[in-house]
């Protein structure tokens, strides 16, 4: 097991920069999730850690040891690929033992290690099977087993659950968390599914277009997003963000024509400028006010999605039809399409961003 450090790591293909100045220090045994949309550079970063891609610049350390020039076979990393990449012509046993035999582990010792891992992952009964005879979940376990059987110092997973159906994915996610708790191997996990990221990670690295947007715990990236990208990307659905010009008033501030915010946001808003980006999470909007000083958002309802436990309203700000609003509200109220309604949010659940830099501006020490 090892700590891992990436220092100003960049990757360039021709003139295209796919990973830019990646800095991260990972503690021994930490579970890091690389999260971002397709093409954001997360898989490339993982492959650089594995040694399957070279670094264009920067340095990579396992513990104290620089590994830039160490080939993948000598890095002692275990990797699980999206499509599992099991050796199709070998039995499950041979798949598991291949890495050990490649490293010249004696036969008896290798067989013992395989049977231990097979027991841990409950695949003992399929050891003689070929991969094509296995179900998706079993293949997933074999791929995991192959990566952990030789006790790697770093464990890499590239969207390992994306080929499974929803139920199995949920179950495997819990099993992965348990497995990590048990083995304590430093893990990098690539996904575009924020559900997986939020539940599995010790820390999440959110990436976009090759750049790291934020590194933090699930709680931090949800409640203190660095910028509008993270705010929009984390949360389901993401945060409502409105670029609005504001006018000061004695009791409240009017932003645009239909958003009213309390005066205690004034100083923060003045620091930004005449136009601000106001952000409110859909789950922080309510139908009734809890008291004075709430943020008021008025909208025209365009679509109503009844999702059982709650209702998702999709609409546009009244008077600003180019700005969309999504709200997650309690079920049981009869909303109508075309209706104009006003929703409320507590001032502390409102975020302010600078529309030029897209970075968040502290309002109440959020």
Partner 1 sequence: MITGTKKNSLGSLELDLVTNGISPKPKITSPKELLRVLKDRLVAYGLMFPALAVFVVFFYIPAAYLIYISFYHWGILSSATTYVGLKNFDILFAQPLFWHSLLTSLYYTVVMIPATVLLALAIAMLLRDGLNAKRGGLWRGAVFLPHVTPVVATSIVWVWIFNPRFGLANFILTSLHLPALGWLESQQWALPAVMIDSLWHSLGLYVIIFLAGMANVPKELLEVARLDGAKRHRVFYRIIWPLISPTTFFVVVLATVNSWQAFSQIYTMTGGPHGGAGGPAFATTTDALLVYQTAFTYLHFSLAAAMSLILFLIILTLTAMQKWISDRVVFYR
Task: Determine the Cα–Cα distance for residues 324 and 20; give it in Å rounded to an integer.
Answer: 32
Q: Which stretch binds partner 1 (CB under 8 A): 8-16, 65-73, 235-243, 352-360?
A: 65-73
User: Does 88 sit near partner 1 (CB under 8 A)?
Assistant: yes
Question: Scanning the structure block, which residue is given the tokens 């080939």?
Answer: 71
Asked whether 217 and 352 are in contact (CB, 8 A), the reply is no
Task: Determine the Cα–Cα distance for residues 45 and 35; give it in Å rounded to an integer.
Answer: 11
Task: Determine the Cα–Cα distance for residues 6 and 97; give it in Å rounded to an integer.
Answer: 31
Q: Look up residue 250 and give its two tokens.
A: 């004695």
Nearer to partner 1 by C-beta: 102 or 357?
102
Asked whether 231 and 241 are in contact (CB, 8 A), the reply is yes
User: Does 79 sit near partner 1 (CB under 8 A)?
Assistant: yes
Q: In the stretch 113-132, what mask flags binding to partner 1 with x, by CB under 8 A?
A: -------------------x
**CB 81 to partner 1: min, Å:** 5
Tell me the HSE value of 104 on the side-chain side, using a 13 A CA sphere: 0
Task: Determine the Cα–Cα distance for residues 67 and 65; give it in Å rounded to an integer.
Answer: 6
Q: Which residues pair with 155 in a beta bridge?
A: 78, 187
Q: Which stretch binds partner 1 (CB under 8 A): 99-107, 176-184, 241-249, 334-342?
A: 99-107
User: Total number of residues binding partner 1 (CB under 8 A)?
Assistant: 25
Out of 36, 41, 58, 99, point to the residue binding partner 1 (CB under 8 A). Answer: 99
Q: What is the DSSP letter of 146?
A: H
Asked whether 50 and 119 are in contact (CB, 8 A), the reply is no
User: Does 107 sit near partner 1 (CB under 8 A)?
Assistant: no
Q: Restricting to residues 144-163, which ones interact with partner 1 according to CB under 8 A?
A: 146, 150
Q: Which stretch binds partner 1 (CB under 8 A): 33-41, 80-88, 272-280, 296-304?
A: 80-88
**CB 318 to partner 1: min, Å:** 50
Asked whether 160 and 143 are in contact (CB, 8 A), the reply is yes
Nearer to partner 1 by C-beta: 85 or 254?
85
User: Does 70 sit near partner 1 (CB under 8 A)?
Assistant: no
**CB 145 to partner 1: min, Å:** 12
Question: 3-state SS of 189-232?
Answer: EEECCHHHHHHHCCEEEEEECCEEEEEECHHHHHHCCCEHHHHH
Burial bucket for residue 202 (CB in 10 Å: 0-12, 13-18, 19+): middle
- 308-314 LR contacts (CB < 8 Å, sep 24+): 311/335, 312/237, 312/282
Q: Which stretch binds partner 1 (CB under 8 A): 48-56, 275-283, 295-303, 333-341?
A: 48-56
**CB 74 to partner 1: min, Å:** 8
User: Does 178 sit near partner 1 (CB under 8 A)?
Assistant: no
Q: Which stretch binds partner 1 (CB under 8 A): 29-37, 46-54, 218-226, 262-270?
A: 46-54
Out of 5, 24, 52, 316, point to the residue binding partner 1 (CB under 8 A). Answer: 52
User: Does 213 sit near partner 1 (CB under 8 A)?
Assistant: no
User: Does 77 sit near partner 1 (CB under 8 A)?
Assistant: yes
**CB 14 to partner 1: min, Å:** 12
Asked whether 125 and 174 are in contact (CB, 8 A), the reply is no
User: Does 50 sit near partner 1 (CB under 8 A)?
Assistant: yes
User: Does 216 sit near partner 1 (CB under 8 A)?
Assistant: no
Given the rule CB under 8 A, which residues bind partner 1?
50-52, 71-79, 81, 83, 85, 87-89, 98-99, 102-103, 132, 146, 150
């Amino acid at each position: 097991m090892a700590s891992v450090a990436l220092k100003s790591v960049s990757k360039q293909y021709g003139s295209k920069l796919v990973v830019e100045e990646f800095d991260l220090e990972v503690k021994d045994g930490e579970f890091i999730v690389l999260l971002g949309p397709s093409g954001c550079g997360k898989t490339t970063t993982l492959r650089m850690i594995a040694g399957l891609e070279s670094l264009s610049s920067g340095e990579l350390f396992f513990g104290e040891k620089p590994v830039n020039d160490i080939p993948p076979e000598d890095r002692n990393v275990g990797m699980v690929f999206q499509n599992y990449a099991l050796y199709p012509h070998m039995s499950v046993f041979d798949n598991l033992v291949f890495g050990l035999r490649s490293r010249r582990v004696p036969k008896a010792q290798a067989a013992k290690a395989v049977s231990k891992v097979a027991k841990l992952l409950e695949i003992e009964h399929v050891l003689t099977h070929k991969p094509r005879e296995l179900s998706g979940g079993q293949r997933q376990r074999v791929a995991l087993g192959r990566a952990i059987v030789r006790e790697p110092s770093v464990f890499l997973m590239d969207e390992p659950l994306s080929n499974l159906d929803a139920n199995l994915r949920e179950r495997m996610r819990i099993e992965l968390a348990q497995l990590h708790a048990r083995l304590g191997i430093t893990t990098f996990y690539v996904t575009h599914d924020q559900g997986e990221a939020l539940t599995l990670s010790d820390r999440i690295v959110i990436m976009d277009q090759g750049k790291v947007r934020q590194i933090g715990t699930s709680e931090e990236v949800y409640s203190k997003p660095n910028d509008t990208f993270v705010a929009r990307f984390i949360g389901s659905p993401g945060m409502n963000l409105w670029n609005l010009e504001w006018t000061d008033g004695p009791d409240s501030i009017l932003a645009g024509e239909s958003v009213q915010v309390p005066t205690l946001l004034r100083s923060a808003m003045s620091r930004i400028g005449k136009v601000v980006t106001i952000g409110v999470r859909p789950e922080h909007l309510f139908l009734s006010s809890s008291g004075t000083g709430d943020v008021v958002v008025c909208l025209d309802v365009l679509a109503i999605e009844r999702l059982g436990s709650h209702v998702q309203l999709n609409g546009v700000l009244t008077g600003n039809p180019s700005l969309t609003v999504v709200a997650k509200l309690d079920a049981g109220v009869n909303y109508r399409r075309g209706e104009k309604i006003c929703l409320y949010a507590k001032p502390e659940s409102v975020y302010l961003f600078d529309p030029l830099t897209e970075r968040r501006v502290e309002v109440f020490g959020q």
